[in-house]
Structure 1
Amino acid sequence: MPYLVPASVFDSPQETIGAVPFWVGYHPDTELVAIYLDDELLVKHVAVLNLLDSAAALAGQLGLHLPTDAASVVLIGYGPPAAANTLVDIAHVLELMLRVHGLMLVTDGHCVCLQPDCDCPARGAGIAVEANSTQSAAHLAMGGLVALPSKAALHTLVAPDRAAQIRIQDAVTALPPHFTPEQGHIEFSLAQARNGRRLTDEQAAQFAMALTDHSLLSAVWAITCRCMWQRDLWLDLTRRLPDRYVAGPASLAAWCAWRRGEHALARYALDRAQRGPGTGLTPLIKNLLDAHLPAHRLNWPISI
């Protein structure tokens, strides 16, 4: 499971802060990160909200994110020192529903623990933290998770490349009038990507046409996993394909990201998928994300 790290990570503010960017997908700036834990301090879900919202609104949203098997929550705010009061107010509300295992505010690499009964090093004046130098960061990076420098960097992974879109639209137009996509186009494209080769514009055009076929899309979906080469393939096509053909690849990018535990990236990819004609896969993935269902809880395979 992508969230899996030793429960001892929550014994150290440094190690907790080190894990967060990998669970979120990027280094937070002005966000509230809620890490929901079970009785064994294993992570069940991670929610990310805008810390600039009111304490009442944030507490309400966090209640909606609450997994049924959560026993406690760690709240970490990323923002100015003035946000401390907001965090404390939110914690008071959440304590009515579950135990607050940790409450911290991170400002410019400085972490302060806000729990009055805590004796951790971050209590009081706080401590300096360097997320990238922690064991938890190394553990999650070795597990294949990615922590981008910012939310903006996350968005660039799915942002359309207008020049590439024009080239591939021209390549689609240049296909023979009676071109019919087949399983062979799928197998060739996947083999190219698995071997580290980027699809040419012509190959991408053929693959785009193949993914508009429901049976071929279903076949690709059935073998889409959390491999890094698949992540790279679907994101590349999401950026390059014209909106008319982007729903299939972007949905697969969202699916791959969700299976990897990169839920923020999955949301961005899903939004991109909704820019074009839909597929049966797009609403299914949206329902999974809205339900905050972790990948390991889904019986696989399923059909669309």
Structure 2
Amino acid sequence: MAQNKESSPVPVQITLSGPSDILAAVPYIVGYHPRDTLVVLGLRGDTPRLHATFCRELAPADADTDCDAAADRLAAALLDEECSVALAVGYGPAAEVTRQVDAVRSAAERAGIAVREALRAADGRYWSYVCDSPGCCPPEGVPYDPSVSAVAATAVANGLRAWPNRDSLRDHLAPVGGTRRALMRAATRAAEERGARLRGSGPPRGRDAYGPRFRVEGARAVRDAVAAAERDELPEDPGRIAWLGVLLGCIRVRDEAWTLIDPERAPSHQRLWRHVLRHAEPAYRPAPGSLLAVSAWARQDTALAEAALERVHEVDPDYSMAALVHRALRTGLAWRGYPSESLQAVWPLEDP
């Protein structure tokens, strides 16, 4: 994987001194403004630092959902990441949030994980599940405005962004439809036939079922597409897009594209692989989706990276590159590959 140390993001460190800071930080940690979502932050170390982030959409209060089982899995994941402290925030109505937060707190207690804060946020107010003092946590909730927080200002000043919500991310990656989809379907069939002929033009070597000519053609096509994207030129011909997708089916060709991604050129890669992902037929989405995730990760846009990985998971839950990137994102690895975070949240040793 290409690395550019000079342009790699420098972790931003903030101290979460209370509920308002947590609520201001969460959108920049997860990359979007949560809605109807449970967010759990796992911290570890003597001075607890953010290490793992877990998000899941809330199930309706009347849904047949086993909150206890889900909470046990979450606690096990926190233990796997050696997190000894957790912060939980549920965004949504009390009927949906409370039962899930209660389950998380109970599972964490059984696992020996300290839940230092557990909040519900809705309509510009928050309520704490760990504080029952009417002086600081009145029954009507506490007003908060994350947009005026120093935490949010620090995040924005350091280039972090938060998408409006998860739906905006899904819309950003929605597959093309209509006539364009029909053209891509026909172009993909032709590209598959072309690929079969190219694979059959020379004997494969070892476990490489594609053969050297396929790899050479794939590497050339990838480099040409990346160079064009750097000139703000994206492939519009369905045949070119479909051929690129078929070539990326070869792991060595895909990895050729991967090695070209670095933070400086990541915006061009992000535009290119989003374009290919939206046009590709389902069987050919895992490679461009994973490449999009890597390029978004290099730009510290973890929410877009996760959304791209969701597209991959829809068609191939076992795609290995996507699994590797997902693991890195969940544990907060920065682009340079060491355990860090784009936003290093530190919880005080003493309660404020």
TM-score w.r.t. length of structure 1: 0.78
When structure 1 is superposed on structure 2, of 104-113 and 56-65 the one drifting more is 56-65
Q: CA deviation at 1:261?
A: 5.8
Partner AA of 1:250 in structure 2: G
Instruction: Give CA deviations for 1:193-232 in whole Å, capped at 9, x if unaligned.
Output: 2233333225434433432343321111123345333223
When structure 1 is superposed on structure 2, of 156-165 and 204-213 the one drifting more is 204-213
Match of 1:247 among 268, 286, 291: 286
Match of 2:295 among 238, 256, 259: 256
Q: CA deviation at 1:45?
A: 0.9
Partner AA of 2:23 in structure 1: I
Percent identity among equivalent residues? 22
Matched, 1:57 2:69: yes
* Counterparts of residues 179-198 of structure 1 (less than 5 Å): 181-198=217-234
Q: Distance in 2 between matches of 1:233 and 1:132?
A: 32
Partner AA of 2:51 in structure 1: K
Q: CA deviation at 1:36?
A: 0.9
Instruction: Give CA deviations for 1:74-94 in whole Å, capped at 9, x if unaligned.
Output: 111111134346524532441
* Counterparts of residues 194-205 of structure 1 (less than 5 Å): 194-201=230-237, 203-205=240-242
Which residue of 2 is the match for residue 220 of structure 1? 257
Contact 1:261–1:295 under 8 Å retained in 2: no
Match of 1:76 among 72, 82, 89: 89
Q: Distance in 2 between matches of 1:245 and 1:189?
A: 17
Aligned residue for 1:256, secondary structure, equals: helix
Structure of higher CA gyration radius: 2
Q: CA deviation at 1:234?
A: 1.6
Match of 2:183 among 167, 177, 191: 167
Matched, 1:31 2:37: yes
Q: Distance in 2 between matches of 1:184 and 1:63?
A: 47
Contact 1:270–1:282 under 8 Å retained in 2: no
Pick closer, same or farther for the CA change 1:133–1:207 going to 2, 3 Å. Answer: farther
Matched, 1:46 2:58: no
Pick closer, same or farther for the CA change 1:239–1:139 going to 2, 3 Å. Answer: farther
Match of 2:22 among 16, 20, 40: 16
Aligned residue for 2:252, secondary structure, equals: helix
- The number of aligned residues is 297
Matched, 1:90 2:104: yes
Structure number with higher relative contact order (C-alpha < 8 Å, ≥ 6 residues apart): 2
Aligned residue for 1:95, secondary structure, equals: helix
Q: CA deviation at 1:133?
A: 3.9
